[in-house]
Structure 1
Amino acid sequence: MRGLKKKRRIQIIVLAFVALAVATGMIGYALQDGINFFRSPSQIVAEPPKPTEVFRIGGLVAEGSLERGQGETIRFKVTDGGAEVPVVYTGILPDLFEENQGMVGTGKYVNGVFEASEILAKHDETYMPKEVIDALKEQGTYVEPDGS
């Protein structure tokens, strides 16, 4: 009788570990498409991601690079001071989107062009996403906004 209880206990523990491993695997698989890594233009130029990988890019909209095409297609370059990456976006841009301003885009890097599915711009004169500030500081091009 005692051996049977011990065997049952071991079976339950093994079953619990298997269930935990399966649940962890399923959660990881479900989140696989929902996790977007942030990259700066310098990181993208140094190590281009796969064309199927969805990620976020951030930096400043390069001066003189904003081109409005036919319809809602917009082309521009995003820079961190060390490298520039061309971006194409079809859609309506945020009101505060302009040259020399911080932005973050979500999309894929295909054939040397970042194809954005979403563009976010700063929401006031002083705000810039933390990832963009960190990337600009890393390149040595970040300028503190004056507090006036």
Structure 2
Amino acid sequence: MKGLKKQRRIQIIALAAVALTLSTALIGYAMRDGINFFRSPSQVIAEPPAPTETFRIGGLVEEGSIIRGQGETVTFRVTDTNATVQVNFTGVLPDLFAENAGMVGTGRLVDGVFVASDILAKHDESYMPKEVVDALKEQGVYQDPNG
């Protein structure tokens, strides 16, 4: 009788371990495309990601760089004041998208040009995405608008 209970416990523990391993693998598989790492333009230039890798880039929209093409196509440059990356975006830009404003884009680097699938802009005059602030602080050029 004791041997049967012990064998049953071992089977339950083994089944639980297999279920835990399987669920962890499924979660990792489901999230493989949902994790987008943030990079500043300097990081993109120093270590270009693979063309298949989706990531986020952020910085300031360089002054005088916005070129509106046919339809909804827009080309501009994003900078962290140390390096600049060309960005191509087809779609509707946020209302607050402007030169010298903070932005974060999601997309891929294709032949040295960041092809964005999504663009986010600052919310108000003092807001800038945390990743952009951190990248600018790292470059030593961030100035807090609140003093």
TM tier, smaller = over 0.9
Structure 2 partner of 1:70? 70
Structure 2 partner of 1:45? 45
Matched, 1:10 2:36: no
Give me the TM-score of the superposition, normalised by structure 2. 0.96
Q: Specify the code of the residue in structure 2 equivalent to 1:57.
A: I
Structure 2 partner of 1:91? 91
List aligned pairs for 1:1-148, cutoff 5 A.
1-146=1-146
Runs of 4+ in structure 1 over 2 Å off: none
SS at match of 2:26: helix
Instruction: Report the aligned-residue RMSD.
Output: 1.0
What stretches of structure 1 of length at least 5 have no aligned partner? none
Aligned residue pairs total: 147
C-alpha distance in 2, partners of 1:94/1:31?
Answer: 27
What stretches of structure 2 of length at least 5 have no aligned partner? none
Give me the TM-score of the superposition, normalised by structure 1. 0.95
SS at match of 1:57: strand
Q: Specify the code of the residue in structure 2 equivalent to 1:136.
A: L
Identity of aligned residues (%): 72
1:8 Cα deviation after fit = 1.3
1:22 Cα deviation after fit = 0.3
SS at match of 1:95: coil
